[in-house]
Amino acid sequence: MRTAYTADQIRAAEHELMARLPEGTLMQRAAVGLAAVCADLLGRVYGRRVVLLVGSGDNGGDALYAGERLARRGAWVGAVLAGSRTHEAGLRALREAGGRVVGQEEIERADLIVDGLVGIGATGALREPYVSVVRAANSARAPIVAVDVPSGVEASTGRVPGVAVRARVTVTMGACKTGLLVDPGAGHTGTLTLVDIGLGAHLPDPDVAALTGGDVDDLLPRPGDESDKYRRGVLGVAAGSDEFTGAAVLAVGGALRAGAGLVRYAGPAAPVAQVRARWPEAVITELDRPSLDGVGRVQAWVLGPGLGTGDWSHELAARVLASDVPVLIDADGLTLVARDRSLLRRSAPVLITPHAGELARLIRADRDDIEAARLEHSRRAAAELGVTVLLKGSTTVVAEDSRPVRVNTTGTSWLATGGTGDVLSGVAGALLAQGLSCYDAASCGAYVHGLAGRLAAGGAPLAAADVAEAVPAAIRALRADSA
């Protein structure tokens, strides 16, 4: 599991460690790791041009000491001093190694740019002269290596309130910062490399966590010798309408492909016909009124994809949410509970899977604000609504009150197409029915769904049905990687 921490958590850990070490030890450890990454990226160090972007803080010192090491290996190293002050010992070391102070015009001639402008404590938009320096670096041909965080990205949140460095590689010191895993900051990070400077024993519980493939494989249910279709999880799906028949087909397909032992589908005639034709494995109840009589016992429900938002749908949603099993609410189900939040007053667990617009309606917030601060708003929704939140988007996050937010690291932009969210509902719902908690079902469901999207796309457009078909291959890939 990859864990991440806020700037305050990192600084507290650094303070504890620095009290036990000679002055400057942590900076030297950081510089050694940073220089090694830069050398690997350059391939050949001797004769290459490296430009350091140096601010007033410790990140500037890390860059200067790393520049010293590269200069001693024969690189031409120049430092653009953009801050109101400079780490004097680091600048002296760079000059003694043959480095020099240069003007901003050298940025465009660099083979490698090292961003040491601002540190993890910076918040708000960058100001001049940093803005001009960052724009010059982003438009240069050379790759950028960011020190700790790309300048302009808020380390604790991932917010990017103005201009920010777009790094090829970010070398983060001691522990990963939250903002490096969450968009929009994650989109500026590039490849993330961690340099161990000895913080491990001093770190608190993480702010954010990202499951690895091995973590997901360990959590996914496996059938045993005594398993039968009922013991493997029975999922109810209340989805689809005369207008949106495909949503039911996709949700049921996602559930079956994710290993549900039995899927009971309940819906009106039009989607019933489509589900029966595509998934004969499903047990189907055609509803002529919004009642669950005769559907049979289930261990979890998926509620909402393509369900509609009229009175009939509201009554069916109320019946589902009156049950005593976990319920995943998606799509039209979210619209219904946004209008009538009393539907969420239940003792059994609830997992909601909104995109930013749906979450905005649920918590009366602005969609753009949610996109800019996904962690903050997903946490707020989890606490305010008393549910587990899987917020879909460029970075999918899973929030539950008093737990670290989990960030999903799989997926592809090709998943931004109609119906893929319905498949995700089925996948996560199947995991709920198999006994995973909302927190784990959401996290593992997002991981498997994202991996299936990658496999299905292969760098080309996909349809939602392709994702459902690729779910077993994604699970096999997890098992193979963990073997």
Residue list for the binding site for AMP: 392-396, 421
Sequence-ordered strand ranges (E) for 96-198: 100-101, 112-116, 144-147, 169-173, 176-177, 191-195
Per the CB < 8 A criterion, the answer to whether 186 and 14 are in contact is no
CA 126 to chain centre: 25
Rounded distance between C-alpha atoms, residue 418 and residue 391, angstroms: 17
Rounded distance between C-alpha atoms, residue 80 and residue 183, angstroms: 29
CA distances from 310 to 32, 134, 314 (A): 63, 51, 6
Q: What is the DSSP letter of 102?
A: -
Rounded distance between C-alpha atoms, residue 381 and residue 379, angstroms: 5
Pull the structure tokens for residue 169.
């590689």
Reference 100, options 84, 72, 77, 117; nearest CA is 77
Q: Binding-site residues for (6S)-NADPHX, please? A: 58-62, 119-125, 130, 148, 247, 306, 355, 422
C-alpha dihedral over 138, 143, 145, 149, to 10 degrees?
Answer: 40
Q: What is the DSSP letter of 393?
A: S
Rounded distance between C-alpha atoms, residue 434 and residue 364, angstroms: 33
Q: Binding-site residues for K(+), please? A: 59, 115, 151
Per the CB < 8 A criterion, the answer to whether 474 and 452 are in contact is yes
Rounded distance between C-alpha atoms, residue 271 and residue 256, angstroms: 17
Q: What is the DSSP letter of 387?
A: S
Largest CA distance in the chain: 84
Backbone angles phi, psi at 307, to 5 degrees: -75, -25
Residue 347, exposed/middle/buried by CB under 10 A (0-12, 13-18, 19+)?
exposed
Cis amide prior to 404 (ω within 30 degrees): no
What sign does the CA torsion over 362, 364, 368, 369 have? negative
Q: Binding-site residues, please? A: 58-62, 115, 119-125, 130, 148, 151, 247, 306, 355, 392-396, 421-422
Rounded distance between C-alpha atoms, residue 413 and residue 420, angstroms: 12
Rounded distance between C-alpha atoms, residue 206 and residue 2, angstroms: 10
Rounded distance between C-alpha atoms, residue 366 and residue 24, angstroms: 45
The count of C-alpha atoms lying within 13 angstroms of the C-alpha of 190, restricted to the half-sphere facing its C-beta, is 21
